């Protein structure tokens, strides 16, 4: 009888190991958006590159990258905090600094040229760093890495947000969003 209990216990353990992290994958929240749904305003971070245009001021216009301190080093006005700001608030900050004794009624326009890349590793054909595009989903990210390997767990994916030390397990659906700087890890299925 004890052999039968042992075998039953072993089978139950194997079945539990086959499920993705015990079934505790996140399946709702801010990362999930319905197809065609509104995407939140993008906030800038280290490594993003922007184009700044100050109307009739070619010497102040140009392409600038958010530096490791989270700022843009701009001519005339120096460093302007950019990390965590959206384009509208950054434009207003630059406008206010230029209007504070440098230009009369400056007209400022800012647009994102390149976003921080995302990273994907684990059970994909070509792990690595890839350029972010607006509206990127986890399935699009896997497609960028040339798809799953035969051993891949296609039901869930681990995501570590930029700046975080913890990765979280998410249910892999077509509406799971990826953000710039995210690190994705596709796990291996056991059976």
Per-residue pLDDT of the chain (191 residues), as tens digits, is 566 666 655 554 444 444 444 457 776 667 777 655 555 678 899 899 999 999 999 999 999 999 999 999 999 999 999 999 999 999 999 999 999 989 999 999 999 999 999 999 999 999 999 999 888 999 999 999 999 999 999 999 999 998 888 999 999 999 999 999 999 999 998 77
Using CA atoms, how far apart are residues 70 and 80, in angstroms rounded to an integer?
A: 9
The tally of domains found in the chain comes to 2
Q: Which of 86, 114, 142 is the last residue of a domain?
A: 114
Distance separating alpha carbons of residues 64 and 76, to the nearest angstrom: 14
How far apart CA 9 and CA 6 sit, in angstroms, is 5
Instruction: Give the Cα separation of 94 and 82 in Å (integer).
Output: 10
Tell whether 103 is covered by a domain. Answer: yes
Tokens encoding 122: 């684990």
CA atoms within 13 A on the CB side of 69: 7
Rounded to the nearest 10 degrees, how much is the dihedral formed by the CA atoms of 174, 148, 130, 40?
10
Rg (CA), the chain: 23
> Strands (DSSP E) along 37-181, which ranges?
49-54, 62-65, 71-74, 78-81, 108-114, 118-122, 128-130, 156-160, 168-171
**In a shared domain, residues 139 and 86:** no
The domain boundary residue, chosen from 88, 114, 140: 114
Q: In the chain, where does DSSP find H-type helix? A: 2-18, 87-99, 138-144
Clarify whether residues 88 and 128 are in a common domain.
no
Q: Could you tell me the two tokens for 110? A: 């800012």
Query: What pLDDT score was predicted for residue 187?
Result: 94
Asked if 124 and 177 sit in the same domain, the reply is: yes
CATH number of the domain enclosing 151: 3.10.560.10
Task: For residue 63, give its domain range.
Answer: 49-114
In a domain, 33, yes or no: no
Domain-ending residue, one of 98, 114, 130: 114
Query: Would residue 124 count as lying in a domain?
Result: yes
Helix (H, G, I), strand (E, B) or coil at 70: coil
């Amino acid at each position: 009888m004890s052999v039968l209990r042992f075998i039953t216990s072993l089978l139950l353990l194997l079945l539990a190991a086959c499920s993705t992290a015990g079934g505790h994958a996140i399946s709702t929240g801010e990362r999930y958006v319905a197809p065609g749904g509104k995407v939140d305003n993008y906030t800038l971070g280290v490594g993003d590159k922007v184009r700044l245009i100050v109307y009739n001021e070619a010497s102040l216009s140009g392409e600038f990258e958010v530096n490791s301190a989270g700022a843009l080093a701009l001519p005339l006005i120096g460093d302007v905090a950019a990390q965590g700001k959206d384009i509208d608030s950054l434009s207003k900050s630059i406008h206010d600094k230029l209007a504070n004794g440098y230009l009369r009624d400056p007209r400022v326009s800012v647009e994102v040229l390149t976003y921080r890349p995302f990273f994907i590793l684990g059970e994909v054909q070509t792990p690595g760093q890839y350029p972010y595009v607006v509206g990127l989903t986890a399935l699009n990210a896997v497609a960028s890495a040339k798809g799953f390997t035969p051993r891949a767990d296609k039901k869930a994916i681990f995501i570590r947000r930029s700046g975080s030390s913890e990765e979280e397990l998410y249910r892999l659906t077509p509406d799971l969003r990826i953000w710039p700087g995210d690190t994705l890890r596709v796990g291996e299925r056991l059976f």
